[in-house]
Amino acid sequence: MPPLPKNDKPIDITQIAQALGVSKTTVSRAISGNGRISAATRQRVLDYVKEHNYTPSMMARGLVKRCSYNISLVISTQFSDFELPFLRKVMRSVYQVAGDSDYDVLLTLVDENETRPVERLLDNRKIDGLILTRTLERDPLIPLLKARKVPFVAIGQPEDDQVLSVDHDQVGGCREMTSLLLMKGMKHIALLGGSMLYTVNQSRLEGFRQAYVKMGQKIDENLLFLELESDDLRMEAVQ
């Protein structure tokens, strides 16, 4: 087999084809394992590839397998300052697992009722799958992704129970915390919550109400502070 050039630069499919006297299509078929070529030719290509430490680029592999080797991590613009520790942990874990599988992560920011950023990724075939880091009531992204047949998972509890998702027990957690306060004899318990468009906030409110029912007590509706979507609103509620 012809030796590598002295500068030892990475070789590409064109160089392999020229060195072996075959077409680039033949080389591509041998490497991918797809297409009709003789066993002898395939082995000849693979031996050359192994000897010269050739590794197909992700772009080349993507063209062969029709994959982008990207996944999208969708985050609400409401949380785009990334101050939430939970969100930072999610991002770190997603990047780690994706990297272990030779995938890159595209961070995608969307407003609550916005779909265009995700549609753009799909139209340009930039992603193979998607992770929703929030679930909304009447989330417009879910029917879009299902219609486009894109693999996706959600963090939270989607309204559509057919969507693959992971979540904490938001109802049970809030119920137990509230029950503990009530058992300690506390009478005036306030609940500060975010937008009721998010199912996580709906679940926490449900757990709060369940605790009062369980303890046979009545909620002071004046102490329910919901739709707190800014620091100013949260500080006003605390005051």
Question: Domain total for the chain?
Answer: 3
Is 192 inside a domain boundary? yes
Phi-psi region of 53 (alpha: psi -120 to 50; beta: other; left: phi over 0): left
Indicate the pTM of the whole model. Answer: 0.66
In the chain, pLDDT over 90 holds for what percent of residues?
48
Question: Same structural domain for residues 148 and 174?
Answer: no
Burial class (CB in 10 A: 0-12, 13-18, 19+), 99: exposed
Instruction: Please say which residue of 25, 41, 65 terminates a domain.
Output: 65
Say whether both 90 and 162 belong to one domain. yes
74 and 87 share one domain: yes
CATH of the domain at 106: 3.40.50.2300
Q: Say if residue 128 is in the same domain as residue 185.
A: no
Is residue 1 situated within a structural domain?
no
Whether residue 214 sits in one domain with residue 182: yes
Percent of the chain with pLDDT over 70: 88
91 and 157 inside one domain: yes
- Note the pLDDT tens digit of each residue in 178-231: 999 999 999 899 999 988 989 999 999 999 999 999 999 999 999 999 998 888
Which residues constitute the domain of residue 60? 13-65
pLDDT tens sequence across 4-19: 444 355 667 788 888 8
> CB under 8 Å, gap of 24 or more: what pairs does 110-119 form?
110/74, 110/75, 110/76, 110/77, 110/141, 111/76, 111/77, 112/76, 112/78, 112/136, 112/195, 112/197, 113/140, 114/140, 115/140, 115/141, 115/144, 118/72, 118/74, 118/144, 118/145, 119/144
